[in-house]
Amino acid sequence: MSSQPQHPVRVVQLGGLMPFVRSWVAERYAAPALADLDDPAGVEVAVVGGGAAVGAAEMDALPDLRAVVNFGVGYDNVDVAEAARRGIVVSNTPDVLTDAVADLAVLLVLDVLRRASAADRFVRSGAWARGERMPLARDVRGAVVGVLGLGRIGSAAAARLEAFGAEVHYHSRRPRDVAWTHHVSPVDLARASDVLLVLVPGGDGTRHLVDAEVLDALGADGFLVNVARGSVVDEDALVAALEDGRIAGAGLDVFADEPHVPAALLRRDDVVLLPHVGSATTGTREAMGRLVLDNVDAFLERGELVTPVG
């Protein structure tokens, strides 16, 4: 006997939503997971989490789908062009995670320059007690941080870094009305930077935007920090640049094939590795969940989204 609700199902869950978001969506809309759906007829909204793919196959499985509500600011997991072709609208959760991600971006910049994580490992290993000396680190004040992608999060991170005394440069598709120095290409930005901070959206348009040429321009004294998407950086080129000493180190919150991290990175002391936790604070994730509900409510009630993409 089916456990499906007896009234029509209008909302379905897709992907790895956080437990409290699953509960909210189930309680508010009696929304089952897609795998538990008996009949897709009448399902108008898919609430998507965990970067689950929403492409032609998923849209075919939900013939009455009219909206995709994505839990996250990035939406490269959704085939937006195919959705538009079918008249399906897409939303994400911008703004509410700007501060958390910007904070983490700054934390990684500080860490790779001041070697905080490496120093922690140095103490825990007993090296300090044995009388060994920790290598000197780099100053944040006076360092040039190149922000690749001066959107909401990039701007917030840049303002924070400026408060630490860093000199901010940036590249975006067009110059912004800001006091920071604009560069016409990622290569030019990398060449001018001590730290290249990557904060562009994911997707085909930015795939391997940071390639071997950009890494070579960053140089042997430069650091890469990526808090965007793993796809933006050519991971093989990054590993090669680190192993060859063509860049000084990296701070990474995202990877090409999460949760898998190249073994070559795991063994390096000049790389800081985080498990994609840019927005992972209780308050931020709850705010993201509330914005998901606001989008679903608005669509079911008025046929529109609060935060549509595009």
- Is pLDDT at 305 greater than 50 in this prediction? yes
Judged against a pLDDT cut of 60, whether residue 137 lies above it is answered with: yes
Active site residue 132: no
User: What pLDDT, on a 0 to 100 scale, did the predictor assign at position 183?
Assistant: 98
Q: Which of 171, 229, 235, 285 is catalytic?
A: 229
- CA 147 to each of CA 125, 151, 230: distance values in angstroms, whole numbers, following the listed order: 34, 10, 16
Q: How confident is the model at residue 170 (pLDDT cuts 50, 70, 90)?
A: very high
Q: Which of 22, 207, 276, 290 is catalytic?
A: 276
Angle between helices 116-124 and 98-114 (to 10 degrees): 60
pLDDT tens for 223-240 read 999 999 999 999 999 999
Distance between CA atoms of residues 303 and 156, nearest Å: 32
Q: State the pLDDT at residue 6.
A: 53
* Residue 286 among the catalytic residues: no
Which of these is catalytic: 258, 268, 290, 304? Answer: 258
End-to-end CA distance of the chain: 42
Catalytic annotation on 276? yes
Q: Evaluate if residue 80 carries a pLDDT over 50.
A: yes
Domains by residue range for the chain, with CATH: 11-96+282-302 (3.40.50.720), 98-273 (3.40.50.720)
pTM above 0.85, yes or no: yes
226, containing H or E segment = strand 223-226
User: Which residues are 272's β-sheet partners?
Assistant: 251
User: Strand (E) positions, 41-104?
Assistant: 45-49, 67-70, 89-91
